Amino acid sequence: MKKTLNDIQEIKIPKISDPDGRGNLSVIEKEVLPYKIERVYYLYDVPSDATRGGHAHINLQQSLIALSGSFDVVLDDGNERKIISLNKPDKALFIPQGIWRELENFSSGAVCLALVSEIYKEEDYIRDYKDFLTFKSR
């Protein structure tokens, strides 16, 4: 079944606020995310005029978290587009396979954490938008 924008989820990560004013602690365990994490990477020092992403994945699922600062995620399922802004360390954006994504408008100091379902494989990437549309129409 081809994934659409309806399969994207904004997931609240459990937050433990310290009763003695020592700040917050968020934890991801068990079934917080709908897949097993196989890889973690993070984006940082991204210039405000730079775009990351600009591709889709064939099998890979991942969740993005703005650990610090903010950025926008443009999501496209081949039919429609939407933009979700991330700016909270206790919110994860789950992106299933088969969704085109572009990350832009990084604030100063923004850190994007990615929790990923697969090890890195270049063959899993669709980096050309026309190829993506062909993939979605099959």
Can you give the binding site for ligand T46, defined by CB under 6 A? 39, 41, 43, 52-53, 101, 103, 114, 120
**Closest to ligand T46 by CB, 26 or 97:** 97
Least gap, CB of 7 to ligand T46 (angstroms): 15
- What is the number of the residue whose Cβ is closest to ligand T46? 52
- Give the integer Cα–Cα distance in Å for 78 and 71: 22
**Closest to ligand T46 by CB, 90 or 124:** 124
**Closest to ligand T46 by CB, 72 or 90:** 72
Q: Which amino acid is at 39?
A: R
**Closest to ligand T46 by CB, 53 or 98:** 53
Going 30 to 36 to 40 to 43, the CA torsion angle's sign is negative
Least gap, CB of 70 to ligand T46 (angstroms): 15
Least gap, CB of 24 to ligand T46 (angstroms): 24
Least gap, CB of 43 to ligand T46 (angstroms): 6
Torsion of CA 96, 76, 28, 25, to 10 degrees: 180
